Structure formats: structure tokens, C-alpha cells
Amino acid sequence: MNIRIGFGVDVHRLAEGLPLIIGGVNIPSEFGAVGHSDADVLLHAICDAILGAANLRDIGYHFSDKDPKYKGIDSRILLKDSYALVKAKGFKLINIDCTVILEKPKVNPHVEKMQAIISEILELDIDCVSIKATTHERVDSFGESKAIKSYAVALLNKL
């Protein structure tokens, strides 16, 4: 059995008037994440975790923010394409565990919908997609609602 673990992290600045998309869910908010794609911090961290576990580098290597074809792209597509790369290398995802750091709005009311979206893309039982949310206790740029961060850990098994 060849089991691999991968770790991903992503950060985006927040700005007024942009959509806030986390885990494929558009969350009502006066602030949204700034990015080349739709800036879905959770899906980007998951991409890095699964790619890293398979030793396939990172999301920026495969989907460059310098490439205009990824401008505004839905990160669900990036996650699906990342997982296709992982599967092509002979791996299957066992589970993921994620944390989103955001002062406001509250993420927890949207977790079940995020789990449903992510579990479908990654071909996982919903029970294998853990998403937690926390604040930064009003400390630094995250606590001052100027940025959003997400961490993800993924466990893969070689088929």
C-alpha cells in the first residue's frame, strides 16, 4: 500500500464589491476575494493538497495566473482538472480535511453545501470531506477582514 499525504494553503486579499466564493458556494458578503480566477481559497488549497500528495507540484504550475484562459475561471473546474491529474498518476483520494479562516461572514452555515459540491467533484463520500471554519480573533489582516486563508490536507492511496 502506497499512502501519501499532501498539504495545501491559499490566501486571497478581500475587496469590496466582489463575489465571495468558498468551496464552490457564493456566500452573500459585502467583500469578496481578489484573484485571477474566481479566487475560491478553499478549492485552491485542496488543489494544492491533492497535487502535492501526488508529487505534481502546485496549482500555479498547472493553471498559471499569467494565462488569460484561466481569468475568472470557476475553481470547481480547476479542482476537477487537478484530480484528473492525480488519478492519471494512479492515485485515489481517501479523504480531505480543511480549515477556512475568515472573520466574517460566517462560513459554517454553508459547510454542508460545500461538502456536497467537493465530494461530487472528488468522487468521495461526503463523510470524507471535512471542512472547518474559524476566525483569526480580529488579529492581523485576516482578523481585520482584509484577507481570507484556507488550509487543506489530503490523503491519497496508490491504486
pLDDT digits (tens, 9 = 90+) for 119-159: 999 999 999 999 999 987 676 667 677 899 999 999 999 98
Distance CA 147, CA 120 (A): 28
**The pTM is what?**
0.96
* Closest by Cα among 9, 13, 21, 42 to 145: 13
The CATH number linked to 68 is: 3.30.1330.50
The domain containing residue 60 runs over which residues?
A: 3-158
Q: Are 92 and 155 in contact (CB under 8 A)?
A: no
Question: How large a percentage of the chain has pLDDT more than 90?
Answer: 91
Task: Count structural domains, the chain.
Answer: 1
Distance CA 59, CA 133 (A): 22
Residue 121 three-state SS: helix
Distance CA 49, CA 28 (A): 27
